[in-house]
Amino acid sequence: MRIVSAIQPSGRLHLGNYFGALQKYIKVQEEGQALFFIADLHALTTVRNGQQLQEMTYGLALDYLAFGLDPKKTILFRQSDVLEHTELAWYLATVAPMGLLERAHSYKDKVIRGLFPSVGLFAYPILMAADILLYRADRVPVGKDQMQHLEIARDLANKFNTAYVLGYDASDPEGTKEGNAPGILTLPSPFFMKDESIVPGTDGAKMSKSYNNVIEIFADEAIITKKIMSIKTDSSSVIEPKDMRVSPIFALLQLLVTPSEMADIEESCRIGGKGYSTYKHRLLECFYETFRTVRQRRKELEGEKGYVKNVLNQGAERARQYASSTMEDIRKAVGTARK
Ligand code: AQP
């Protein structure tokens, strides 16, 4: 089983990235060959400072390692170190219908939020499809916000296979029925946790690095306190019952407390008598209970620049081997293979 996923170094790692992605990376890294990378090419759609991108790329490598991704087993690398990502993205762009991308809601959400509507941002799902298809991934651990992009990756794999593989039947992508041929590109499946949902930010919208609503896992204590204490609430008084849908505090608590504590919280909201600050303080405590050890481990790793660079270089070397094998088949099919 091949497992592929990535996070953009477009800001610092936040709770949404952890619960939507990293937590799953740690869980699945034992279940097959995992390739996890730092999507610096994607981050170029929002980061316009080369030095900052370098720093955030290195920072994300530290995050991966602090959380326990094992570079002996798992391949950790930087997207821009494997040039085949952009090459495959172009081939996929030539079979991608405009309408498919025009329906992508992430682009529209980001533009509404004021992000620059570049061609790169619009074409992000194509590069993401290339990221996954290049490694013939079977499983892709991503957050629920990426469901549509993963569907686009499957669509593009089908479009490519249909265009270039004689006897390919989209209803039988592995070519198991007689007369059908298997696709060159594997159709990936998402990997979600049971009852998983999108992690809300401090304002209740999707927690996102570009929305200024994140709770960063490795930020200084003062910033974390400020962010948690500023989570959106309504003006109900201490004694009033609390509607748990009004404030994202409760969805965040649910991620960090045990089910029995969550049941107590639900009951206390129903009867009232506790102010929002009580819940915020509990969230703060839970945050440190969950992340104290990784925060410490990341601090220790900060001085190990040589080691981290080595991990990324060796990871890129290994990733290129997988990528070049897929690209050989693709170039043959499209007619760009060197004779
Ligand atoms: N709020 C979220 N809830 C659940 N999962 C989330 N992820 C991100 N935010 C949430 C998951 O984290 C992984 C890496 O995301 P990314 O950094 O590559 O891009 P993103 O989804 O666009 O994350 P951001 O923070 O919103 O980044 P910007 O603002 O730079 O675009 C993915 O698996 C994603 O599902």
Q: What per-residue confidence (pLDDT) applies to 313?
A: 98
46 within ligand 1 shell (Cβ under 6 A): yes
Q: What per-residue confidence (pLDDT) applies to 193?
A: 87
Question: In this model, does residue 194 exceed pLDDT 90?
Answer: no
Question: In this model, does residue 211 exceed pLDDT 90?
Answer: no
d(CA 158, CA 326): 16
Give me the sheet containing 189-191, strands edge to edge: 75-78, 33-38, 2-7, 139-141, 189-191
20 within ligand 1 shell (Cβ under 6 A): yes
The answer to whether position 96 is within a domain reads yes
Q: Are 24 and 58 members of one domain? A: yes
Residue 206 designated active-site:
yes
Question: In this model, does residue 67 exceed pLDDT 90?
Answer: yes
The answer to whether position 339 is within a domain reads no
Q: Are 179 and 313 members of one domain? A: yes
Q: In angstroms, what is the span from residue 333 Cα to ligand 1's centroid? A: 34
Q: Are 89 and 157 in contact (CB under 8 A)?
A: no
Nearest-Å Rg of the Cα atoms of the chain is 22
Question: In this model, does residue 302 exceed pLDDT 90?
Answer: yes
The answer to whether position 33 is within a domain reads yes
Q: Are 226 and 128 members of one domain? A: no
145 within ligand 1 shell (Cβ under 6 A): yes
Q: Are 273 and 185 members of one domain? A: no
CATH number of the domain to which 235 belongs: 1.10.240.10
Q: Are 11 and 81 members of one domain? A: yes
Q: In angstroms, what is the span from residue 132 Cα to ligand 1's centroid? A: 16
pLDDT band at 224 (very low <50, low <70, confident <90, very high): very high
DSSP string across 8-40:
--SS--BHHHIIIIIHHHHHHTTSSEEEEEE-H
Q: Looking at the 3D structure of the chain, how many domains does it have?
A: 2
Over the stretch 135-146, which tens digit does the pLDDT of each residue have? 999 999 999 999
d(CA 312, CA 307): 9
Over the stretch 70-121, which tens digit does the pLDDT of each residue have? 999 999 999 999 999 999 999 999 999 999 999 999 999 999 989 999 999 9
Q: Are 75 and 311 in contact (CB under 8 A)?
A: no
Q: Which atom of ligand 1 is nearest to the CA of 210?
A: 29
Over the stretch 10-42, which tens digit does the pLDDT of each residue have? 999 999 999 999 999 999 999 999 999 999 999
Over the stretch 308-336, which tens digit does the pLDDT of each residue have? 999 999 999 999 999 999 999 999 999 99
Q: Are 295 and 309 members of one domain? A: no
User: Which segments are annotated as binding site for L-tryptophan?
Assistant: 131
202 within ligand 1 shell (Cβ under 6 A): no
Closest C-alpha to 64, from 52, 53, 47, 76? 76
Chain-centre distance of CA 217, in angstroms?
A: 15
Q: Which amino acid is at 58?
A: Y
Q: What per-residue confidence (pLDDT) applies to 210?
A: 79
Arithmetic mean of pLDDT, 265-292: 97
261: containing domain: 219-300
Question: In this model, does residue 189 exceed pLDDT 90?
Answer: yes
Question: In this model, does residue 290 exceed pLDDT 90?
Answer: yes
The answer to whether position 183 is within a domain reads yes
Q: What per-residue confidence (pLDDT) applies to 195?
A: 85
Q: What per-residue confidence (pLDDT) applies to 260?
A: 97
- What are 16's two structure tokens? 């949404």
d(CA 336, CA 339): 9
199 within ligand 1 shell (Cβ under 6 A): yes
Q: Which atom of ligand 1 is nearest to the CA of 106?
A: 22
Arithmetic mean of pLDDT, 181-192: 95
Residue 232 designated active-site:
no
Q: In angstroms, what is the span from residue 272 Cα to ligand 1's centroid? A: 34
The set of residues, in sequence order, having a beta carbon less than 8 Å from that of 236 and lying 6+ positions away, is 242, 243
CATH number of the domain to which 141 belongs: 3.40.50.620
Q: In angstroms, what is the span from residue 42 Cα to ligand 1's centroid? A: 12
Question: In this model, does residue 306 exceed pLDDT 90?
Answer: yes
